[in-house]
Chain A
Amino acid sequence: MHNRRGFERDGAAPYVFLAPLLVLLAAFMIYPVVMNIITSFTEWKGYGPWKWIWLANYKTMIADEEFWTSIKNTALMVLYIPLSTIVTLLITAFLREGIRGWKVYRAILYIPNLLGYVLMGVIFSIYLRDDGVLNMAIKRLTGSTIHFLITPVLAINAVGFLLVVFLHLGFGLIYFLAAMNGIDKSIYEAALIDGAGFWRTLFKVSIPSIRFSVEFWVVFSFIEVFARMFSFIHTLTQGGPGYSTFTLEYGIFIQAFSKFKVGYSSAWSVVLFLFCAMISIAQIRLMKRRDE
């Protein structure tokens, strides 16, 4: 949006062009968010009349162990973001060196992104079962079984590793490869002449040159963690065992659609909304910085 030429306006035309979008957003985004804030002060089953209870939902929430588990789990997902960033950058750097078969590797690692969270969630729910291929192999090697989806601490870490690191790898490879291909080739040649090895080239040339892409990647990962995890959790663990794989998003779903405490779930939604607002501010600041 750099084309600020004079002050002459285009009259009504822009609003006509924007009308379909803005009508849809008003109905399906702004209205729901405003209603969420209002219903967070009520006791409401999702139908029928509601009762104003003001801050009671928030008080319940602060005392609710499920809520704090959700926050903790969401934070744990965030801790996987650095690992995901490093692993993705490292493998991108491998592929960038033009090792044989790099295109095939890139395509295969992209498959999870094609199949989407629902299919991948169900696929891993089969693969990680006690009688799945992975556990059969582990049993052959060690004689014991690892209950990935039954032991709470393993289940939540499986969700974190799979969603944040594994499922985004293929996407990140394409993204970072495109970014690294935009780097001036002569910089790499100069580094090579200086005798820089693989690691020095990666940390002194590649990563600094695509700094903005890396920062956008981190913002993107935050969005995924806070706002895009529902489908994967719902199909992999369904929040379980117990509520050990609840995230904020999943908690909202359970409160609203399985316990029918819609008013209470709205209080959780307001918390999630505040987190999203912070991510959005980070995103906008980053864009401003890049444009300068």
Chain B
Amino acid sequence: MKKVSPFSPTARILVQIVMIILVVASLLPLYNVISASLKSIDEYPTNPVLLPKAPIFDNYKYAAFAGHLIRFTVNSLIYVPVGVALYVVICLMAGYAFGKMRFAFRRSIFLLVLFMSIFPQLLLATQVSKLISLMHLTNTGLGVILSWVAYFSPFGTYIMTTYFADMPYELVEAARIDGASQVRILVSIMAPLALPMIATIAIIGFQSMWNELPFSMLILQQESLRTVTLGIAVLRGEYGLRVPILSAALVIAMIVPLLIFLLFQRYITLGVTAGAMKG
């Protein structure tokens, strides 16, 4: 990255040592879980630390089927993409309106949306679950999707707004002189230009919804409907569940988030800088 540096060679080695200790320390909990998942229920209490003597996959079989981890993952893979699609459309439209259109109370409404983006879920949870039940959407995918889209949209809208606000106004002006409608300007000019940012908020939305707990906990009470995150949280609370089985369930639950990281690393990096309110 850099050629010149204020580090002496000794300092460099010290820094490397510090970094290696840090990275190893942060990987140990993962090691704990992965190695436990490969040990039999009898082996784990006698050998919690070292690698398994002979790795077994029974825990995975149990977690995947009896523990329903496969079903929960499939549920998440259905709810989350639908939620993200809705979320992207809503944030795109609202972001464009705030960033590039003129209307009364624009700034006040925008600040209100920004304020809502920091609300804690527990502040809303009781009433959201009541509302969902009034709409007869308890124990439905649609119910949880609606609650997610509503809760996460303010933040996505905020990001899209700052992005559109920074775009040159001349683009809109030129299109309007040509007589294009606002919908056409958004769909055929602005949205294509904003594609990298759309991908970024899609990833942010995906991660937020994938890892969401309180709303899904209240809305999806039926076991067969659980998301993978909810499934893990419930397993954790199950009294007497053995560590190797819980560990195998955790490893299964890690697969999709890690895949997303490997596939979309660039947008995750963009998301951090856009998401942290571009300092």
Which A residues lie at the B interface, using CB under 8 A?
Answer: 1-5, 7-10, 13-15, 17-18, 20-22, 24-25, 27-29, 31-33, 35-36, 46, 91, 94, 96-102, 105, 107-112, 114-119, 121-127, 129, 131-134, 136-137, 166, 169, 171, 174-175, 178-179, 189, 191-192, 196-198, 201, 210, 212-217, 219-220, 223, 226-228, 230-231, 234-235, 238, 249-250, 252-253, 256-257, 262, 265-266, 269, 272-273, 276-277, 279-280, 283-284, 287, 290
Partner of B126, one of A10, A46, A212: A46
Best-surrounded residue of A13, A122, A250 (most CB of chain B within 10 A):
A122
Q: How many A-B residue pairs have CB under 8 A?
A: 316
Complex: how many Å from CA A126 to CA B37? 11
B179 within 8 A of A: no
Known: A122-B246, A127-B32, A198-B7. A97 touches B15 (CB 8 A): yes
Q: Kindly list 12 other residue pairs between chains A and B, CB separation below 8 angstroms, not including A20-B93, A22-B109, A226-B120.
A: A28-B131, A33-B123, A35-B127, A99-B16, A122-B250, A134-B32, A169-B26, A175-B276, A178-B272, A215-B279, A252-B122, A257-B125
Does the CB pair B257–A114 fall under 8 Å? yes
A279 to chain B, nearest CB (A): 6
B79 within 8 A of A: no
| Across-interface contacts of A216 in B (CB, < 8 A) | 276-277, 279
Does the CB pair A119–B229 fall under 8 Å? yes
Does the CB pair A28–B97 fall under 8 Å? no
Does the CB pair A28–B123 fall under 8 Å? no
| Across-interface contacts of B182 in A (CB, < 8 A) | 10, 13, 17
Complex: how many Å from CA A250 to CA B233? 15
Complex: how many Å from CA A116 to CA B76? 14
Which B residues lie at the A interface, using CB under 8 A?
Answer: 1-2, 4-7, 11-12, 15-16, 18-19, 22-23, 26-33, 36, 45, 48-49, 89-91, 93-94, 96-104, 106-107, 109-111, 113-116, 118-128, 130-131, 146-147, 149-151, 153-154, 157, 161, 165, 169, 182, 186, 207, 210-211, 213-214, 218, 229, 232-233, 235-237, 243, 246-247, 250, 253-254, 257-258, 260-261, 265, 268-269, 272-273, 276-277, 279
B22 to chain A, nearest CB (A): 7
Complex: how many Å from CA A21 to CA B109? 11
Q: Which residue of A lies closest to B93 (CB)?
A: A17
| Across-interface contacts of B94 in A (CB, < 8 A) | 17-18, 20-21
Known: A24-B153, A116-B210, A235-B236. A283 touches B118 (CB 8 A): yes
Does the CB pair B229–A116 fall under 8 Å? yes
A26 to chain B, nearest CB (A): 9
Q: Which residue of A lies closest to B133 (CB)?
A: A47
Does the CB pair B32–A133 fall under 8 Å? yes
Complex: how many Å from CA A265 to CA B265? 40
Does the CB pair A114–B103 fall under 8 Å? no
| Across-interface contacts of A287 in B (CB, < 8 A) | 277
| Across-interface contacts of A118 in B (CB, < 8 A) | 211, 213, 229, 232-233
B279 to chain A, nearest CB (A): 3
Complex: how many Å from CA A114 to CA B48? 26
Partner of B261, one of A109, A114, A122, A277: A114
Does the CB pair A28–B6 fall under 8 Å? no
Does the CB pair B128–A9 fall under 8 Å? no
B34 to chain A, nearest CB (A): 10
| Across-interface contacts of A110 in B (CB, < 8 A) | 261, 268
The 9 closest A-B pairs by CB, nearest first: A116-B211, A213-B279, A98-B1, A32-B127, A28-B150, A227-B120, A17-B97, A24-B150, A127-B29
Partner of B213, one of A215, A230, A262: A230
| Across-interface contacts of B96 in A (CB, < 8 A) | 17
Complex: how many Å from CA A234 to CA B103? 43
Does the CB pair A231–B16 fall under 8 Å? no
Does the CB pair B122–A27 fall under 8 Å? no
| Across-interface contacts of B18 in A (CB, < 8 A) | 94
Known: A21-B93, A198-B6. A108 touches B113 (CB 8 A): no
A262 to chain B, nearest CB (A): 6
A180 to chain B, nearest CB (A): 11
Does the CB pair B124–A33 fall under 8 Å? yes
A243 to chain B, nearest CB (A): 15
Does the CB pair B236–A9 fall under 8 Å? no
Complex: how many Å from CA A161 to CA B22? 14
Does the CB pair B150–A111 fall under 8 Å? no
| Across-interface contacts of B107 in A (CB, < 8 A) | 1
Does the CB pair B119–A126 fall under 8 Å? no
| Across-interface contacts of A196 in B (CB, < 8 A) | 6
